[in-house]
Amino acid sequence: MTKIEVNGAVLAYDEVGAGSPVVLLHAGIADRRMWREQVDALATRHRVIVPDLRGYGESELPPAPFTHHDDVVGLLDALDLPRAALVGCSFGGRVAVDTALAHPERVSALALIGAAISGHEWSEETEQLWDDLVGEVDPEDFVASAAGEVRFWVVGPSRQPADVDPELIRFAEEMDQRALAAELALSAVEIGELDPPAIERLGELGMPVLVGAGADDLADIRRLADRIAAETPQAVRLPDVPDAAHLAPLEQPHPINAALLNFLP
């Protein structure tokens, strides 16, 4: 692990390999450790950079306004990288897309797995699903909240916890407890948003885009992947990854790694 100052904050990141640069951006329920199955595989061909987003994991959170997408470009600047491919899962996908729209000259390609998109609104179906699967949880109880979020996102609506590797559930809950603490701290800081949001601007993405999702992820996420693929000029839609929900890179690394190695420039 290395630390580097980016836009007034010290960010933690890992770096492995040599070749064309690739930045892996983690989900909001996780931190950079969610990419542990991708790093060595991608490092056979790429310079792989895996940061904790500001406030998450081991990265700092100064009490100053910022934007995550500007931090990504600040990281590229600090590492003297003119351009890089961005790979994002969930919230990391949202950050990747926002970066590509705000700074298109800095992004050579996008790979989006179970990506969120700024400006996208969740369906009533998803809100009802949360009530059915999780219900009300004390937001200050990080253990209970993480267990609920992992049930919702990592297990997914079409499976039972017994269907999922217990080590994956344990690791996801541990990451999410830290992420929940990060989100609480982030709620006290002014975070800039892309304006207009990305959901209205997918047609502006001029770089190659790979779009995928887990077959057991939320229907909203899979529909959003379809929309990204349909509205982005150079998009390729992967078939949904079997036996995987929202953290597909962690749960099913082999098909994800193969797809990334085939796609990344």
The tokens for 63 are 């009490």
The tokens for 162 are 């017994």
Last residue within a domain, chosen from 156, 185, 214: 185
- List, in order, residues 6 or more apart from 150 with CB less than 8 Å away: 29, 169, 172, 173, 176
The position carrying tokens 């836009």 is 7
The position carrying tokens 């990060």 is 182
Shared-domain flag, residues 53 and 162: no
* Residue 130: C-alpha distances to residues 114, 189, 190, 247 (Å): 17, 27, 27, 17
User: Percent of the chain having pLDDT more than 90?
Assistant: 89
DSSP state of 242: T
Shared-domain flag, residues 208 and 258: yes
Q: How many domains are contained in the chain?
A: 2
Shared-domain flag, residues 11 and 110: yes
Shared-domain flag, residues 49 and 100: yes
Contact 240, 213 (CB under 8 A): yes
> In whole angstroms, what is the distance from residue 81 CA to residue 47 CA?
11
Cα angle vertex 154, ends 2, 91, to 5°?
Answer: 50
Q: Is the pLDDT of residue 134 over 90?
A: no
> In whole angstroms, what is the distance from residue 198 CA to residue 205 CA?
10
Which residue pairs, CB below 8 angstroms and at least 24 apart, start in 98-102?
98/67, 98/68, 98/69, 98/194, 98/198, 99/69, 99/72, 99/73, 100/205, 100/207, 101/194, 101/198, 101/201, 101/204, 101/205, 102/67, 102/69, 102/70, 102/73, 102/194
What are 24-64's pLDDT values in tens digits? 999 999 999 999 999 999 999 999 999 999 999 999 999 99
Contact 86, 111 (CB under 8 A): yes
Shared-domain flag, residues 20 and 137: no
Shared-domain flag, residues 160 and 219: no
pLDDT value of position 251: 96
Domain that holds residue 175: 130-185
Confidence label for 189 from pLDDT (cuts 50, 70 and 90): very high
Q: Is the pLDDT of residue 128 over 90?
A: no
Shared-domain flag, residues 89 and 152: no
What are 72-116's pLDDT values in tens digits? 999 999 999 999 999 999 999 999 999 999 999 999 999 999 999
Shared-domain flag, residues 160 and 227: no
Shared-domain flag, residues 53 and 181: no
Q: Is the pLDDT of residue 126 over 90?
A: no
> In whole angstroms, what is the distance from residue 85 CA to residue 264 CA?
7
Q: Is the pLDDT of residue 133 over 80?
A: no
Shared-domain flag, residues 177 and 197: no
CA 131 from chain centre, in angstroms, equals: 24
What are 139-172's pLDDT values in tens digits? 778 888 889 899 999 999 999 999 999 999 999 9
pTM (2 d.p.):
0.96
CATH number of the domain bearing residue 204: 3.40.50.1820
List the beta bridge partners of residue 22: 48, 85
Contact 144, 56 (CB under 8 A): no
Last residue within a domain, chosen from 141, 164, 185: 185
Shared-domain flag, residues 108 and 43: yes
Shared-domain flag, residues 107 and 23: yes
The tokens for 199 are 């959901």
